[in-house]
């Protein structure tokens, strides 16, 4: 009855056709809420936008969003709930674990899931029904290695956080630096709650590398940047996309200046040349988000934007048939999104390459595109 009531309110505005239901699973509460909240906000923004412009082929869109509470159990139950309400696709979840917990449910129910999480395991091996829009760290490392080769850096030290993110980055660095003939002089780690890394940096200084690559998420990398400045180590400090939020600059202060890291184009949208094919999409998202919420959008919201945009295009083209939507996305080429330019294939359900990343330098506490 509630559905009928809601539909009754929405329908007259955009026509009398039945609404298309899209499910959203975001970690709105729990440890992953910094990811899930911007994703949810973006999803709500898009629902409003689509319905304000006449819906999809006259059909209004109804987003049903559930909080996964950052837990696997709630994700699976919420997904079953969405499926039983007849959603045509599910956008999210926010985290890798939650997404992997959904693999079985998604393929059994035959509903396309477009995850906003980064883990490469979500799409490798390929599950017929599961896609993801977040970039993988393979490509972030590739971008950094390219940069080091260009600058003639061939001796580095690695400093990584001891968790899944740091380990995965370190493994990729080993593989790709080996292939590019960049020598790794030493590997150091720090805990994700450590407040001092001077001993690691002192050891690194003794090795005399040409650059330090630090792979971690806040607050560790900010401490590394501070400690390097304190110890007077004046070699390039390269970092990961894990620091692509304002928190890093806040924590590191002056020491953040000069740090170079790979990131999606969204955070340096104003520096992106107009000739860049992504410029238009980036501005559209950034402006719409800022207008609605009075703050800057971030990468995570961008993943949700891309996912919903893909579902929207599929719905416009093939209608509300789950199998058809799935194969539409699987064969989608040249989709210009926030995370990059997607080229999906049956073997690649992420569809991004290393050009999804640009290199960003921090100058005077601001992100600038590295020239």
Partner 1 sequence: MDARSQSPRYHFLAFPIVGALLAALPFALHNNYYIGVMVFIGIHTILALGLNLLMGYAGQVSLGHAAFYGIGAYTTAILTTMLKWPPWVGLACAPMVAGLAAYLIGMPTLKLKGHYLAMATLGFGMIVKILFVEYYPLTGGTSGMTGIPPLSLGKLQLVDDRQFYYVVWFFALMLIWVSYNIVESRVGRALRAVHTSEIAAASVGVDIAKYKIQVFVLSGVYSGLAGALYAHYIRFVNPDPFGFMFSIQLVVMVVVGGMASIWGAIAGASAITLLSQVLQRFEDYEVIVFGAILVLVMIYMPQGLTKSIVDLTARRRSAKPSKPEVLP
**Vertex 242 angle, CA 144 and 266, to 5°:** 80
Q: Of the listed pieces 163-171, 198-206, 299-307, 320-328, which binds partner 1 according to CB under 8 A?
A: 163-171
* Residue given tokens 């001891």 in the structure block: 162
81 binds partner 1 (CB under 8 A): yes
Contact call for residue 108 and partner 1 (CB under 8 A): yes
Interface residue with partner 1 among 14, 27, 50, 76 (CB under 8 A) is: 76
Choices 62-70, 226-234, 255-263, 322-330 (CB under 8 A): range interacting with partner 1: 62-70
Please select the residue that binds partner 1; options are 104, 196, 254, 321, rule is CB under 8 A. 104
Q: How far apart are CA 80 and CA 365, in angstroms?
A: 45
Of 71, 135, 255, 278, the one binding partner 1 by CB under 8 A: 71
CA nearest to 214, candidates 267, 264, 268, 258: 258
Beta carbon nearer to partner 1, 3 or 284: 3
Residue 12 DSSP SS3? helix
Residue 254 touches partner 1, criterion: CB under 8 A: no
- Least CB distance from residue 92 to partner 1, whole Å? 15
Q: Which among 93, 114, 361 is positioned nearest to 244, based on CA atoms?
A: 361
Residue 62, strand partner residues: 21
Report the nearest approach of partner 1 to the CB of residue 277 (Å).
Answer: 32
Question: In Å, what is the CA distance from 7 to each residue of 48, 59, 117, 244?
Answer: 14, 11, 31, 40
Nearest approach, Cβ of 281 to partner 1 (angstroms)? 29
Instruction: Give the integer Cα–Cα distance in Å for 360 and 363.
Output: 9
Q: Does 304 bind partner 1 (CB under 8 A)?
A: no
Is residue 177 a contact partner of residue 156, using CB atoms and an 8 Å limit?
yes
Residues in the site for partner 1, rule: CB under 8 A?
Answer: 28-29, 66-67, 69-74, 76-78, 80-81, 83-84, 96-97, 100-101, 103-104, 108-109, 119, 121, 163-164, 167
């Amino acid at each position: 009855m509630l559905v009928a009531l809601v539909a009754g309110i929405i329908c007259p505005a955009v026509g009398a056709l039945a609404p298309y239901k899209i499910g959203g699973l975001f970690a709105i509460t729990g440890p992953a809420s910094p990811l899930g909240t911007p994703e949810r906000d973006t999803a709500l923004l898009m629902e409003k936008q689509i319905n304000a412009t006449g819906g999809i082929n006259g059909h209004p869109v109804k987003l049903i969003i559930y909080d996964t509470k950052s837990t696997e159990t709630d994700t699976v139950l919420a997904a079953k709930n969405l499926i039983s309400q007849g959603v045509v696709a599910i956008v999210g979840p926010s985290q890798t674990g939650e997404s992997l917990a959904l693999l079985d449910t998604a393929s059994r129910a035959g509903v396309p899931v477009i995850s906003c999480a980064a883990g490469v395991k979500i799409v490798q091996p390929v599950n017929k029904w599961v896609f993801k829009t977040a970039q993988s760290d393979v490509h972030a490392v590739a971008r950094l290695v390219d940069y080091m080769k260009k600058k003639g850096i061939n001796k580095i030290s690695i400093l990584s956080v001891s968790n899944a993110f740091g380990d995965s980055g370190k493994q990729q660095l080993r593989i790709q630096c080996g292939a590019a003939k960049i020598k790794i002089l030493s590997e150091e780690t720090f805990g994700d709650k450590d407040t001092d890394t001077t001993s690691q940096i002192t050891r690194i200084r003794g090795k005399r590398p040409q650059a330090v690559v630090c792979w971690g998420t806040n607050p560790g990398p900010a401490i590394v940047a501070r400690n390097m400045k304190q110890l007077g180590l004046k070699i390039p400090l390269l970092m990961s996309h894990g620091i692509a939020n304002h928190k890093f600059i806040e924590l590191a202060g002056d020491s953040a200046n000069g740090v170079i890291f790979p990131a999606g184009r969204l955070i340096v949208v104003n520096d992106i040349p107009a000739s860049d094919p992504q410029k238009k999409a980036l501005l559209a998202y950034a402006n719409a988000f800022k207008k609605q919420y009075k703050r800057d959008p971030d990468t995570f919201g961008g993943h949700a934007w891309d996912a919903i945009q893909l579902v929207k295009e599929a719905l416009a083209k093939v209608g509300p048939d789950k199998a058809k939507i799935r194969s539409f996305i699987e064969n989608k080429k040249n989709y210009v999104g926030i995370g990059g330019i997607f080229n999906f294939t049956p073997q690649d359900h992420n569809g991004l390459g290393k050009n999804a990343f640009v290199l960003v330098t921090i100058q005077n506490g601001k992100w600038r595109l590295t020239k």
